[in-house]
A and B are shown apart, each in its own frame.
Chain A
Amino acid sequence: MDFGLTDDQRDIQRTARELLADRASPERVREHAEAGRHDDGLWTELRELGWPGIAIPEEHGGQGLGGVELAILSEELGRAVAPVPFLPSVMAAAVIEAAGSPEQRERWLPGLAGGELVGAVAAATDGAAGLVPSGADADLVVLVEDGSARVVTRDEADMEAVAAIDPTRPAARVAAPRDAGEPLAGDVAAGVARALVAVSAELVGVCDRALDMTVAYVKERKQFGTPVGAYQAVSHRCAQMLLDTEIARAATSEASWTADADPDRLRECAALAKATASDAGRSVTASAIQAHGGIGFTWEADVHWLFKRAQIDAALLGGAKEHRARLARFVGERAAVRV
Chain B
Amino acid sequence: MDLTFSDEELAFRDEFRTWLADNPPPPDPGEVADEARNAWRAAWQRQLYEGGWAAPGWPAEYGGRSATLTQSAIYFEELGRARVPLPLNVLGLLLGGPTLMVWGTDEQKDRYLAPILSADEIWCQGFSEPDAGSDLASLKTKAVKDGDDWVVTGQKVWTSAAQYAKWCMLVARTDPDAPKHKGLTYFLMDMEQDEVQVRPLRQITGEAEFNELFIEEARIPDENVVGGVGNGWKVALTTLMNERAGLGFTLQIRLRQLLDDLIGVAAERGLLDDPRYADQLAELHARCEAIRLMAWKGLTDVERYGQPGPEGSLVKWLWSDTNQQATQLAADIVGADALVAGTTWSYELLRARGNSIEGGTTEILKNIVAERVLGLPRLKPATA
Min CB distance, A247 to chain B, in Å?
4
Determine if A5 and B366 form an interchain contact, defined as CB atoms under 8 angstroms apart.
no
> CB of B289 within 8 A of chain A?
yes
Q: Is residue B59 contacting chain A, with contact meaning CB distance below 8 A?
A: no
For A327, the chain B residues whose CB sits under 8 A away are 282, 285-286
> Which of chain B's residues 340-384 have a Cβ closer than 8 Å to chain A?
363, 365-367, 369-371, 373-380
A219 touching B377, Cβ below 8 Å? yes
Question: What 1/0 mask marks residues of chain A from 216 to 238 whose CB sits below 8 Å from any chain B CB?
Answer: 00110000001101111001101
- Taken residue by residue from 1 to 20, chain A's Cβ proximity to chain B (1 for < 8 Å, 0 otherwise) reads as 11111100000000000000
| B225 adjacent to chain A (CB < 8 Å) | no
Tell me how many residues of B have a C-beta within 8 Å of chain A: 54
Closest-by-CB residue of A relative to B281 is A328
Q: In the docked arrangement, what's the CA distance between A215 and B371, Å?
A: 11
Cβ-defined contact, A232 with B70, below 8 A: no
Contact among B263, B285, B374 with A242 in the assembled complex (CB-CB below 8 Å): B374
**B-chain residues with CB within 8 Å of residue A338 when the two chains form the complex:** 260, 264
- Contact assessment for A4 and B1 in the assembled complex, using a CB-CB cutoff below 8 Å: yes
Per-residue 0/1 for A322-339: is the Cβ within 8 Å of any B Cβ (1 yes, 0 no)?
A: 001101100110011011
Q: Determine whether A257 belongs to the interface, using a CB cutoff of 8 Å to chain B.
A: yes
Q: Across the two chains, which residue of chain A brings its CB closest to B272? A: A332
Q: Is the CB of B279 within 8 A of A324?
A: yes
Which residue from chain A places its CB closest to the CB of B297 in the assembled complex? A3
With an 8 Å Cβ cutoff, the count of chain A residues facing the other chain is 49
Assess whether A243 is interfacial by the CB under 8 Å rule. Answer: yes
Beta-carbon contacts of A234-265 to B below 8 Å, as 1s and 0s? 01101110110011001101101110011000
Q: In the bound complex, how far is the Cα of B305 from the Cα of A5, in angstroms?
A: 11
- Is B121 part of the contact surface with A, judged by Cβ < 8 Å? no
Q: Which of B94-102, B166-174, B216-224, B310-318 contacts A (4 or more CB under 8 A)?
A: B310-318
Contact call A251/B267, Cβ cutoff below 8 A:
no
Q: Is the CB of B263 within 8 A of A332?
A: yes
Contact of A239 among B266, B268, B290, B374 (CB under 8 A): B374
Which chain A residue shows the least CB distance to B262?
A335
Known A239-B374, A338-B260: A1·B282 in contact at CB below 8 Å: no
Asked if A236 contacts B281 (CB within 8 A), the reply is no
For residue B278, which residues in chain A have a CB less than 8 angstroms away from its CB?
A: 324-325, 328, 332
A246 touches B314 (CB 8 A): yes
Report whether A215 and B282 are in contact in the complex, using a CB–CB cutoff of 8 Å: no
Query: Which of B2, B264, B373, B376 has the largest count of A CB atoms less than 10 A from its CB?
Result: B376
Q: Is the CB of A219 within 8 A of B300?
A: no
Q: Is A251 a contact partner of B379 (Cβ separation < 8 A)?
A: no
Q: Mark B271-311, 1 if CB is under 8 A from A, else 0.
A: 01101001101110111011001101100110011000011
Interface residues in chain A, defined as those with a beta carbon under 8 Å from any beta carbon in chain B? 1-6, 68, 211, 215, 218-219, 226-227, 229-232, 235-236, 238-240, 242-243, 246-247, 250-251, 253-254, 256-258, 261-262, 272, 275-276, 321, 324-325, 327-328, 331-332, 335-336, 338-339
25 contacts between A and B (CB under 8 A): A1-B2, A3-B296, A6-B1, A215-B376, A218-B376, A230-B379, A232-B363, A232-B367, A239-B374, A240-B366, A246-B311, A246-B314, A247-B290, A250-B289, A250-B290, A275-B282, A276-B286, A276-B290, A321-B279, A327-B282, A327-B285, A327-B286, A332-B267, A335-B266, A339-B264
Task: Please report B residues at the A interface, Cβ cutoff 8 Å.
Answer: 1-5, 9, 70, 260, 263-264, 266-268, 272-273, 275, 278-279, 281-283, 285-287, 289-290, 293-294, 296-297, 300-301, 304-305, 310-311, 314, 317-318, 363, 365-367, 369-371, 373-380
